Amino acid sequence: MKINRRSFVKGSIAAGAFTAGFPHIWIKDSSLAYAAGGEIKVGVLFSLTGTTGIIEESLNKATIMAIEEVNAAGGINGMKIVPVVEDPASDPATFAEKARKLVLGDKCVSVFGSYTSASRKAVLPVFEKRNNLYWYPTLYEGRECSKNVIYTGAVPNQQQDEFVPWLVKKFGKRWSLIGSNYIYPKEENNYCKKLLAGLGCEVIREEYVPLGHSEFSSVVNKFRSEKPDVIFSTVVGDSVVALHRQYRAAGLNPDTMPMASLTTSENEVAAMGGDAAAGHFTSAPYFQVWDSPENHKFVDAYRSRWGADKVTHFVSEPCYFQVKMFAEACSKLAASDINPNNIREAVKGVEMMAPQGKVRLDGPTLHTYLWPKIGVCKSDGQFEILKQSPTWLAPVPYKAYENQICTEQGLQES
């Protein structure tokens, strides 16, 4: 029989309709199930190049290390986790494209990824449409209630509820808020202002600088002339480094006018130098110096795997424990039941010892119970932990919005 183009096209359409029409026939085929041949495929979607490539590379490393540890300890009921690594190059559109490839092409059962909110928002439609799971390790601004994202980083209430009253008590009531000009700092400041209003404090300045801004001399002049008690900083990326260095070069004193930051980690401190960072405060659930057996193990393993000069920080730690959470959820399921829906149900309420302490995945919100800590930076570039929350803190992603609440059924408005 001669195959001409028309009959070939007709045949393909028929075949396509057949497979699309009877998908259950193929799902039973073990070669197409999520867990096949003793392997569970997961995506790892952190930028290795581009503007946020620097920090995301450390997230990739923590994720890969956790996967290797799970596999070395026998895997998930004898099955190996196989990571499929993609480089989305710090570009939200590329994030979406690579996410589609991981979910549809590679049939990954979950994807670990993203540092910025912009990249998370870009991949969200892919995961919601395909009902897959995205594991997001970064602290972020809250106000999201997706059933297809597992959030293991802190939301505003977890970083601020302890931190803000503590600072008010220690330093005073006149606050200056400075942030980079995008959604994360605005939402954090929004919540901060609510807390400050409740404590009878005064916000004397709220200001935003362009992303990537590096000339802070006018900002520093304002600090000098207005003398706020606390400078609440949500400046991100290399701007953090420039702000701290110029504050220091101008001779301002952190003892009387400290900067309190939600975004300054060991990484930024290494780049700005210990003397520029010394005396300023950060609130986060994790610091590299945290003294616990789990953390010593984590830091040692990280350094021996990736190099003695590498630091762990408050985004790489959730990268590490969320893989362990994923493994624990999967281990409760039979191999044939491993799919995104079942993993989501299985991970609800999972508790485990993370380097920061015992964490718990909250069922209704899919966010995580965490242990906020307050650290002050020292001139050797490490933090000293001054205070830890007495209990783990429940995540409340809509805390600044009283009429909205994230539930198992999705966002409820009253």
CB of 58 to another protein, least distance (A): 9
Cβ neighbours, 10 Å, residue 371: 22
Task: For strands 351-354 and 80-86, give the pairing.
Answer: unpaired
CB of 242 to another protein, least distance (A): 5
Whose Cβ is closer to another protein: residue 268's or residue 294's? 268
CB of 323 to another protein, least distance (A): 23
- Across 118-142, b (16+ Cβ under 10 Å) vs e yields bbbebbbebbeeeebbbbbbbbbbb
CB of 251 to another protein, least distance (A): 3
Whose Cβ is closer to another protein: residue 147's or residue 378's? 378
Whose Cβ is closer to another protein: residue 158's or residue 264's? 264
CB of 249 to another protein, least distance (A): 4
Degrees, nearest 5: CA angle 124-328-37: 85
CB of 45 to another protein, least distance (A): 18
The answer to whether residues 171 and 230 touch, using CB atoms and an 8 Å cutoff, is yes
Residue type (1 letter), 217: S
Element spanning 47, H or E? none
CB of 414 to another protein, least distance (A): 35
Whose Cβ is closer to another protein: residue 178's or residue 192's? 178
Whose Cβ is closer to another protein: residue 79's or residue 299's? 299
Whose Cβ is closer to another protein: residue 241's or residue 257's? 241
d(CA 270, CA 266) in angstroms, rounded, equals 6
Q: Which two tokens stand for residue 367?
A: 């966010």
CA distances from 48 to 51, 114, 321 (A): 9, 11, 21
Whose Cβ is closer to another protein: residue 271's or residue 335's? 271
Q: Residue 165 carries which DSSP code?
A: H
* Beta bridge partners of residue 393, listed in sequence order: 370
Taking alpha carbons only, the member of 140, 137, 165, 288 closest to residue 232 is 165
CB of 223 to another protein, least distance (A): 11
Say how many residues make up the chain: 414
CB of 401 to another protein, least distance (A): 25
The contact set with another protein (CB under 8 A) reads 49, 51, 53-54, 57, 181, 207-210, 212-215, 217-219, 221-222, 224-225, 238-239, 241-242, 245-246, 248-251, 267-268, 270-273, 275
Whose Cβ is closer to another protein: residue 69's or residue 238's? 238
The answer to whether residues 236 and 180 touch, using CB atoms and an 8 Å cutoff, is yes
Cβ neighbours, 10 Å, residue 98: 25
Whose Cβ is closer to another protein: residue 207's or residue 345's? 207
CA distances from 65 to 5, 301, 303 (A): 50, 8, 11
3-class secondary structure, 41: strand
d(CA 89, CA 301) in angstroms, rounded, equals 27
